């Protein structure tokens, strides 16, 4: 299949949702359905403006409102089908949702860094990394089988980092997304290139 600009393969644009009040406060959201704040809505409109001249064939979004609303704002210029997929949700933080890293450090009994937090399993009924990886692996398997030239995926920092890790072989702890930041993957057969 011939993709964008005559390149063989598919172009996947990965976008983290717009800002929420919990992002500003440094609170982990997980599956908590926190809406975009005013700045998050503005960020979504700004990224939509930057993408306006591209041909987007399909949009896939996490079903959580902060991602789905970001996708709907971006889609105003494209009017394509949006598929909501719960596999794109962030890691389920269960009782740790809404807490800061400092508060979580107090619960686990030691000071932890953000990279330790995203790279570890916890006994506090948090979704295991293997569970998160498996649902992202399932999504990626379906994505590989889809027929498109350019697709846009709206998700969450952690789940998108796991996706890049699985597709491009980069450790997920080294991948960071700001709100409404775009990373581009070119997928061709077994090869993948990431562009920021």
Residue 64, SS3? coil
Please report which residue ranges of 9-128 form alpha helices under DSSP H.
21-25, 38-51, 65-75, 101-108, 114-118
Q: What is the pLDDT of residue 37?
A: 98
Global pTM?
A: 0.90
Domain ranges within the chain, ordered by starting residue: 4-195
Q: What is the pLDDT of residue 114?
A: 75
Task: Give kind and range of the element (H or E) at residue 184.
Answer: strand 182-188
- Catalytic: which of 17, 127, 156, 172? 17
Q: What is the pLDDT of residue 109?
A: 85
Q: CA 26 → CA 38, 95, 152, 171, distances in Å?
A: 17, 16, 26, 23
At the topology level, CATH places domain 4-195 in Rossmann fold (3.40.50)
- Catalytic: which of 11, 69, 90, 127? 90
Concerning whether 17 is annotated as a catalytic residue, the answer is yes
Q: What is the pLDDT of residue 20?
A: 98
Among candidates 151, 186, 152, 159, which has minimal Cα distance to 175?
159
As a whole number of angstroms, the distance between CA 60 and CA 76 comes to 14
Going residue by residue through the chain (196 aa), what tens digit of pLDDT does each one get?
333 344 457 999 999 999 999 999 999 999 999 999 999 999 999 999 999 999 999 999 999 999 999 999 999 989 999 999 999 999 998 888 999 999 988 888 888 877 777 667 766 678 988 999 999 999 999 998 899 999 999 999 999 999 999 988 888 888 999 999 999 999 876 677 777 6
Cβ-based burial of 71 (10 A; exposed 0-12, middle 13-18, buried ≥19): buried
């Amino acid at each position: 299949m011939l993709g964008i600009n005559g390149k063989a393969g598919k172009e996947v644009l990965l976008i983290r949702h717009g800002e929420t009040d919990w992002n500003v406060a440094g609170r982990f959201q997980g599956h908590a359905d926190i809406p975009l704040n005013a700045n998050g809505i503005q960020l979504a409109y700004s990224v939509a403006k930057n993408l306006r001249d591209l041909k987007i064939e399909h949009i896939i979004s996490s079903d959580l409102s902060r991602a789905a609303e970001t996708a709907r704002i971006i889609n105003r210029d494209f009017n394509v089908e949006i598929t909501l997929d719960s596999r794109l949700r962030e890691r389920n933080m269960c009782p740790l949702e809404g807490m800061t890293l400092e508060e979580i450090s107090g619960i686990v009994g030691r000071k932890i860094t953000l990279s330790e937090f995203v790279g570890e399993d916890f006994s506090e009924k948090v979704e295991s990394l293997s569970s998160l990886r498996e649902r992202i692996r399932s999504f990626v398997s379906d994505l590989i089988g889809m027929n498109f030239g350019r697709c846009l995926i709206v998700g969450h920092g952690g789940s998108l980092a796991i996706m890049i890790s699985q597709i491009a072989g980069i450790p997920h702890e080294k991948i960071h997304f700001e709100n409404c930041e775009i990373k581009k993957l070119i997928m061709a057969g077994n090869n993948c290139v990431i562009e920021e």
